[in-house]
Chains A and B, each alone.
Chain A
Amino acid sequence: MKLINKISRYFLISSSVIFIIIFLGIYFLLENSLEREIDEKLSDIFYNVVNEIKQGKQVSFYPFVQVEPTNNFYDKKEFRDVQIFSGEENEPEPFRELTSYASINGKNYKIIVRSSLIEKEDIFASILTIELSAFVLFIVILFFINKTVSQKTFSDFYATLKKIEGFSLKDNLPIAFAKSDIEEFDKLNKSISFLSEKAIGEYRSLKEFSEEMNHEIQTPISVIKSKLELLIQSNELSENNLALLDTALKI
């Protein structure tokens, strides 16, 4: 796996975590303020409804306003989320409802006010869309940045690699690099140059040693061999002698 891909992978993972956190953050913040907003609106409507009833008007607008006369009276305001079948499709839709009681002109009423939450869902859908497209855009940009980086920044690195591959001790030439404007690569190049010089030096002294060694060993062997060869030219040798010489000369 290429280094740049490895870095990008970490980058992608961490950024997706960040995106999720941002999304959740926005979700909860918005949810909170939206709920408060809706609850306030519902309270307003509730008072309006109470006022209308006080004026003797008949108020009912299902599912948004529901007024039921009741014998009981509780001094409480209850907010909750519900699913209500309404509209043309007759499908359950999310609603926020406020259930409260009012005592008007001696009569008790249970008043339920509702507000649709579809709006809220739309808002979240929009946020999610924006977030996702931002994420996709981010990945696309990252891809192009990587491509450029690996082409431009890593060109020095690949040049270095190529020189190392072409290096041979026998050429007797240390590796020389052009200066890189990237500090890490420049350091790498310097170390490799140094290493190659050292290797060549060691190789040379080893070579000299083995040449010396070769000379030291081959000279006496040459002498011995030449004497044996002269010896076999003699006509005074027995077959046994010749066999011995033959063995000695074979080595």
Chain B
Amino acid sequence: MKILLIEDEKDLAQSIEKFIGGEDFIIDTANDFSSAEEKINLYEYDCALVDLMLPDGSGLDLVKKLKEVQPKCGIIIITAKNTIDDKLTGLELGADDYLTKPFHLAELNAIIKSVLRRRLFDGNSKVVINEISIDTETRTVSVNNNNFELTKREYDILLFFVSNKERVLTKESIVEHIWGDDANAFDNFDFVYTHIKNLRKKLIERGANDYIKSVYGIGYKFTLK
């Protein structure tokens, strides 16, 4: 799948490319408005990440353009401007989601995947990892075709892990993903451990492999290796 990354900060663009590129995605980067416009006209993309503040124009215009030229392309707005005005304008123009800088790369990855699922499969997609299958529409999980119940938090955590396979996820990024802005209210993120412990237990009980590995004190990794 092809992703257009429009970001004027080259260092950040590079990090994003490195983090989300590879397994499923081909990343095309544009560092300014004009080259982004050119790429939009020339190539077809499945998803576009648009920074709103560009040196030679506003990302909002690119969102408009994308909607016009490639209506099927998913759009995620990235902005340092933490203002509701811009977010609303962006979403009104047809952006699928937004992220405010600074963000976790894992979060961006999860958002891209969720947007793509909604866009490409009309929300009716199943994420399958070996014996585990996740239906993102009905929000149900099955191991070896046996459905079973997960709590809302456990489901969200599992999906976040699966969206970021083979990557170390810090406890903060998990908490921020699941609890959003409320994450600031927590003193420490150790409570995540309980949720993950329960999730692992439920998966193993149903006969799944233990894919979730803890990485020292820092976080966790969903790995197939």
Q: Which residues of A contact B (CB under 8 A)?
A: 207, 211, 214-215, 218-219, 221-223, 225-227, 229-230, 232-233, 239, 242-243, 245-246, 249-250
Contacts and interface: CB of A to CB of B under 8 A. Distances in A.
Contacts of B83: 207, 211
B182 interface: no
14 contacts: A207-B83, A214-B80, A215-B80, A218-B101, A218-B102, A225-B102, A225-B104, A226-B19, A229-B15, A230-B15, A230-B105, A242-B216, A242-B218, A243-B217
A82 to B, nearest CB: 96
B28 to A, nearest CB: 18
A229 B105 contact: yes
Interface of B: 9, 11-12, 15-16, 18-19, 53, 80-83, 101-106, 167-168, 170, 172-173, 215-219
Nearest to A217: B80
Nearest to A250: B172
A223 B167 contact: no
B16 A226 contact: yes
Given A226-B12, A229-B19, A250-B172, A242 B215 contact: yes
Contacts of B12: 219, 222-223, 226
A229 B104 contact: yes
A229 B18 CA distance: 11
B126 to A, nearest CB: 27
Contacts of A215: 53, 80-81
Given A221-B101, A242-B216, 10 more contacts: A222-B101, A226-B16, A227-B11, A229-B104, A232-B168, A232-B170, A232-B215, A243-B216, A249-B172, A249-B218
Nearest to B189: A250
A222 B217 contact: no
Nearest to A243: B217
Nearest to B107: A229
Contact of B167 (A214, A221, A233, A246): A233
Contacts of B172: 249-250
B115 to A, nearest CB: 20
A213 to B, nearest CB: 10
Contacts of B219: 232, 246
B15 A227 contact: yes
A221 B82 CA distance: 14
